[in-house]
Amino acid sequence: MNDMSWTPLGPPQPPPVPPPMPVAFAGNRKDFFRLVARGAGLELVTLGFYRFWLTTDIRRHLWSHTQIDGDAPEYTGRGKELLIGFLVALAILMPIYVGYFLIGIEAEHLKAFASLPLVAFFYLFGQFAIYRARRYRLTRTVWRGVRFWMSGSGWLYALKASLWGLLVVFTLGLALPWREAALERYKMRHSYYGDLQGSFEGRGWDFFKRGWWLWLLMPLALSSYVFAPFAYAAFKAIEWRWWLSGIRFGEVRLESTLPRSALVGLYWKVIGWIVLLFAVFAAYLLLCIFLAASIDGSSIESFFRTEAFAKSIPLIVLLGIGYLAFALAMNVVMRVYLMRDLWLRVLSSTIVHNIEAAANVTARGDLANALGEGFADGLDVGGF
């Protein structure tokens, strides 16, 4: 066997394209589009079961094309884990649903609609799922051969989140910044990179100072379809910036310079696409009706007058296929803009200070299971 050896040059050679910023995203948009478009097709073929693998592939793409101090993190989760988490969550949720139903009957027996507060229980459960899902994602994130991990109690978090949620409701949303600050403090305090403990220094008051005017504008945003995307985009931008700027790992400090207007274009693009897709769907609808009428051999008018269109099986099948294609196209648009492009914009506004403090971190922490992701999937809460 021939031996081969490669030795490093004296001074470390800089990588071919040194990233100018500590955090950058080097992913190709076309690649991501191909990934989600193919994923949407597979979701259609598998009636949705492919979502576990698609989610995994999206995360792998986003993680591995992000560069922090020149090194890309790695997502080590796998679709199978998400599937197993989902199945286990299902096995746990099923008896809970039955119990919920029986308790509901007893409560309703005393007073009609007395069981509505039980919905609160599912809110609690959803918050638990959010915490545990974050834990799964964090323990599958590896940077420089060391993984992130998380301790803390999902139930304690759920309780905190629910109590703060009540306060937010009672204060008509004014307490939201303080709720987010408190919850982030809990989450970050229990997050680690190796032996480096995280913390959160964002204060509710800072968030409030940046966003109070949005609170005042809320009635306007809720009543006007044109204004609402602007308000929402501004809120999200303020939230991202405040959140990122509060994150600490040991002495490492993040800072975000995301401008308030950074996400407005993104949301309007999504709206534009949705309108366009709607138009295409409507045109397809018309085409289908003409087609079905011509198969039927009747004129459009008589087709409608005799109400034969409601009984035409080919029409119903065509409409079903059209609807599915429409829904999947929407999914692709959402994923490209609201996951990839959002990720890119938020990342490229992020600066890492004092990264040298994370230069010699010892690996610690165990993997968490995907049960939380399963609950999040089953209860329809979740994020990236």
Question: x/- string (CB under 8 A) for another protein, residues 49-88?
Answer: xxx-x--xx--x--xxx-x---xx-xxx-xx------x--
Residue 90 binds another protein, judged by CB under 8 A: yes
Half-sphere exposure (Cβ direction) of 128: Cα atoms closer than 13 Å = 17
Can you tell me which of 29, 34, 109, 209 binds another protein, judged by CB under 8 A?
109
Q: Does 34 bind another protein (CB under 8 A)?
A: no
316 binds another protein (CB under 8 A): yes
Two tokens, residue 103: 């308790």
Q: Tell me the pairing of strands 191-193 and 196-200.
A: antiparallel
CA–CA dist 69, 91 (Å, integer): 43
Residue closer to another protein (CB basis): 28 or 224: 28
Query: Minimum Å distance from CB 283 to another protein?
Result: 20
| Rounded Cα distance, 243 and 256, in Å | 8
Decide: is 12 part of the binding site for another protein (CB under 8 A). Answer: yes
94 binds another protein (CB under 8 A): yes
Which is closer to another protein, CB of 18 or CB of 219? 18
CB of 246 to another protein, least distance (A): 23
First to last CA, the chain: 47
| Structural contact between residues 62 and 14, judged by C-beta atoms closer than 8 angstroms | no
Q: Is 369 in the site for another protein (CB under 8 A)?
A: no
Long-range CB contacts for residues 195-198, cutoff 8 Å, separation at least 24: 195/361, 195/362, 195/364, 196/249, 196/250, 196/252, 196/357, 196/358, 196/361, 197/249, 197/250, 198/247, 198/248, 198/249
Stretches 13-21, 133-141, 215-223, 227-235: which one binds another protein (CB under 8 A)? 13-21
Smallest gap, in angstroms, from Cβ of residue 362 to another protein?
5
Q: How many residues bind another protein, per CB under 8 A?
A: 79
Helix axes 79-110, 118-139, angle to 10 degrees: 170
The yes or no reply on residue 177 touching another protein (CB under 8 A) is no
**Which among 139-147, 221-229, 239-247, 268-276 is the span making contact with another protein, rule CB under 8 A?**
139-147
